[in-house]
Amino acid sequence: GMRGHTELVDSQILRAPEIAKHLGLSRTAEILHVQMIGKAEGRTIDVAEHYFDPKRFPGFEDKVSETQSISRALAQYGIADYTRKWSRITAAMPSAPVARLLNQPKTRPILQVEALNVDIDGAPVQYSMTRFAGDWVQLTVSDQD
């Protein structure tokens, strides 16, 4: 496939009860939201919303900004390895801002992948929602390493 890279778009602290629940936090807990875009051959192919516990990962947005990588940023907190607990893959119509970032009409469907990553102890590390330009990606789901 194509080689790509990610870029940090924005980060903010917010409250979102449903997302807090996925992260194993109280409904009113503060959550760090990190938005990134994935690019390949100069074209944006995905827009990703990542959510973390800012108390567990203080200053995480700065580490992501430095490394431009969630995995490398997590490694700086001692999380060298994590696994995908579940993924939910659906087709959807993009919101206007997502369509704009993907440089596509909002009438063209996207692939949406909602996922939860956990550490080796099974504790939630990252909840994410990634939206892919549907005509540019193929997703393979496997239980093989």
- Scan for tokens 């996922």, then name that residue: 115
Going from N- to C-terminal start, the domains of the chain cover 4-133
How far apart are alpha carbons 135 and 43 in whole angstroms? 12
Superfamily of domain 4-133: Chorismate lyase-like (3.40.1410.10)
Q: What is the pLDDT along the chain (145 residues), one digit of tens a residue?
A: 566 789 999 999 999 999 999 999 999 999 999 999 999 888 899 999 999 999 999 999 999 999 989 999 999 999 999 999 999 999 999 999 999 999 999 999 999 999 999 999 999 999 999 999 977 677 777 776 5
pLDDT at residue 4, rounded to an integer: 78
pLDDT value, residue 15:
98
pTM given for the model: 0.90
Handedness of CA 121, 32, 94, 102 (dihedral sign): negative
- What SS3 class is residue 99? helix
pLDDT for the residue numbered 136: 66
Token pair, residue 78, equals 């001692």
